Amino acid sequence: MEDIGISVSGLVAQLINVGILLLLLYFVLYKPVLRMFNERSSRIKESMDQAEEIKQKMAETEEQVRQQLEAARKEGQNMLAQAGQMGEQVKEGARQEARQEAEAVIAKARLEIERERDEAFDELRRQFVDLAIVAAEKVIAEALDKEKHRRLIVEVLDEGIKGKG
């Protein structure tokens, strides 16, 4: 091999050098990078699981709010029916006064229904804001300024509601 310009001792030295370089790269670069990828994959999976859990909680919360609104609507209907019955039971001479009372009860029932609906919506909004903050904290793994983000999310929700309304 010396005839073609290849030194056997040089070739062996180069092979040993390449082998040492490969071992060095394996321990210094490949294993840490592989470990980093595995950790990142694990964090992404945890984040996805947490996002799914938050999604389920949101669905449960929405269902609770829907049930509360339905109960408030039924209660309002019951109040309206009672007001109608009261109006019919009043004697002929006091019919005008009974109508005024019934209208006052209806107005009060409507205000009460609106108030309960607004409270339920505000509670849903607060829960959504809290869940969104928790989700954001989990995903980016840093503590957030909750009040600042709460205001930001509320503003975005308000803009979204105004945009749809």
Alpha-carbon span 146 to 134, nearest angstrom? 9
Q: What is the structure's pLDDT at 52? A: 93
Least Cα distance to 124 among 85, 164, 68 occurs for 68
Question: Is residue 144 predicted with pLDDT exceeding 70?
Answer: no
Q: Rounded to an integer, what is the distance from CA 82 to the centroid of its chain?
A: 41
Alpha-carbon span 71 to 65, nearest angstrom? 10
pTM of the model: 0.34
Phi, psi (rounded to 5 degrees) for 128: -65, -45
Q: What is the structure's pLDDT at 154? A: 78
The Cβ of residue 116 has, within 10 Å, a number of other Cβ atoms equal to 17
pLDDT digits (tens, 9 = 90+) for 107-138: 999 999 999 998 988 888 888 777 777 677 66
Alpha-carbon span 164 to 158, nearest angstrom? 10
What are the residue boundaries of the structural domains of the chain, listed by start? Answer: 2-164
Q: Answer whether 133's CB lies under 8 Å from 162's CB.
A: no
Q: What is the structure's pLDDT at 165? A: 56
Both structure tokens of 34: 């592989």
